[in-house]
Amino acid sequence: MHLFDRDILLTKESPSHFKTEISRNWSINGNPNGGYLLAILANAMQQKSNKNAVTICTATYLSKTIPGPADLALENIGRTNHIDRWEAKLVQDGEERIRALGTFSDAPNDQADAQAEKRYEKLPPDLASKEDCLQIPPMGEYTVYENMDVRLDPGCAGWLTGSLIDISEHKGWIKFQNDRPFDALSVLLAADAFPPPVFTSNGMLAWVPTIEFSVNIRNIPASQWLKCIFRTHFINNGILEEDGEIWDESGELVAISRQIAQFRKKPTQHA
């Protein structure tokens, strides 16, 4: 079993209650990655749904989640012939830490796919080759980069050496280190595995905790490598947004995402 699959495993306690163990293997500075946490919640909702395709997952992060045991409580909040909707709550030490909503539908079949309207008004991001991109190395408690191969396009990697640019944009490549194929649940992780794009314009001095995170999955990737671009256009009142696109190497749109986060620069240290 792949590490990611092991780390999103659930134990069913009752029809609407699961237990899980949040791993340290997908952490950012010691904190479990928000996309990884959303994958755990989505896994629980998908197991309860009568539909087989993850379509939209949205999480509100209410308080800090830590590695260790957690409980998940689920409730169906709406069902039609085409759409099934669930709510999931992640609880640690008696405190609700995350609340998520999941929308599920039927996976497309080849015949329906051939007849469906398809129109892309944007192209996949133009990226340097994988070999010319800068791989983010494992860094202490940034364990997600021990397990995900994330490579930044040279045009947006200057912040790692103190060279900033005028736009807040990250683009690059991502895959699992051991070449696990992507599925819907792991796309949720990929959508949150890049550093915040605001780093390219402000450096690593920014504090950017996620408030809300939403991923809309359009296709299951046909390639192990995914092409990603994430962009922040507005920072004000201590809030920023991060809009993302994930594409596979065949040119198919895999997912779009939006993340809302707090923004605060760390106080300047005085001698």
Question: Can you read off the two tokens belonging to residue 126?
Answer: 């133009």
Is residue 71 within 8 Å of residue 22, measured between CB atoms? Answer: no
Cα atoms in the Cβ-side hemisphere of radius 13 Å centred on 164: 12
Tokens 């256009």: give the residue. Answer: 233
Q: Which residue, among 144, 152, 157, 156, has the nearest Cα to 227 in the 3D structure?
A: 152
Sort 120 into a burial class: Cβ within 10 Å, 0-12 / 13-18 / 19+: exposed
Give the pLDDT score at 207. Answer: 79
Measure the CA–CA gap between 150 and 138, rounded to whole angstroms: 10
List, for residues 76-110, the tens digit of each pLDDT value. Answer: 999 999 999 999 999 999 999 999 999 999 987 75
Q: How far is CA 200 from CA 101, 131, 153, in A?
A: 31, 21, 12
Q: Which CATH number fits domain 3-106+128-265: 1.10.150.170, 3.40.1390.10, 2.130.10.10, 2.40.160.210?
A: 2.40.160.210
Q: Could you tell me if residue 162 is left (phi over 0), alpha (psi between -120 and 50 degrees) or otherwise beta?
A: left
Cβ-based neighbours of 139, under 8 Å, separated by 6 or more:
145
Nearest to 195 by CA among 29, 23, 5, 24: 29
Q: How is residue 229 written in tokens?
A: 């671009």
Positions in the chain whose pLDDT score sits under 50: 270-271
Task: Please count the residues of the chain.
Answer: 271
Number of H helices, E strands in the chain: 6, 18
